[in-house]
């Protein structure tokens, strides 16, 4: 717990802050649908790791190719 207290000071005050900004909203949206949050470079680096499918793929069935 010590490292957290060093960064935040009084933890109760830290939790009581109004955290509603764009970054918080992005994090909350990602949390709800189970996605990671980070820069494009960060996510691409994770994709290169074994079992690292983190970038959403296109949804639905593949379209039929027209002749």
Structure confidence by residue, pLDDT tens digits, 12-51: 887 787 767 787 888 888 888 877 777 888 888 878 877 7
Does residue 3 fall inside a structural domain? no
- Rounded distance, CA 9 to CA 56, Å? 37
Does residue 8 fall inside a structural domain? no
Domain that holds residue 27: 18-53
Give per-residue burial for 26-56: e unless 16+ CB within 10 Å, then b.
Answer: eeeeeeeeeeeeeeeeebeeeeeeeeeeeee
Does residue 37 fall inside a structural domain? yes
Does residue 46 fall inside a structural domain? yes
Does residue 30 fall inside a structural domain? yes
Does residue 40 fall inside a structural domain? yes
**Phi-psi map region of 60: left, alpha, beta (phi>0 left; psi -120 to 50 alpha):** left
Q: How many residues does the structure list for the chain?
A: 67
Which pTM was predicted?
0.43
Does residue 42 fall inside a structural domain? yes
Which residue reads 């189970």 in tokens? 34
> In the chain, how many domains are there?
1
């Amino acid at each position: 717990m010590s490292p957290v207290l060093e960064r935040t000071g009084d933890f109760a005050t830290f939790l009581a802050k109004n955290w509603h900004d764009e970054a918080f909203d992005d994090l909350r949206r990602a949390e709800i649908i189970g996605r990671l949050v980070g820069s494009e470079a960060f996510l691409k680096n994770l994709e290169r790791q074994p079992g690292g499918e983190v970038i959403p793929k296109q949804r639905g069935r593949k379209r039929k190719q027209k002749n």
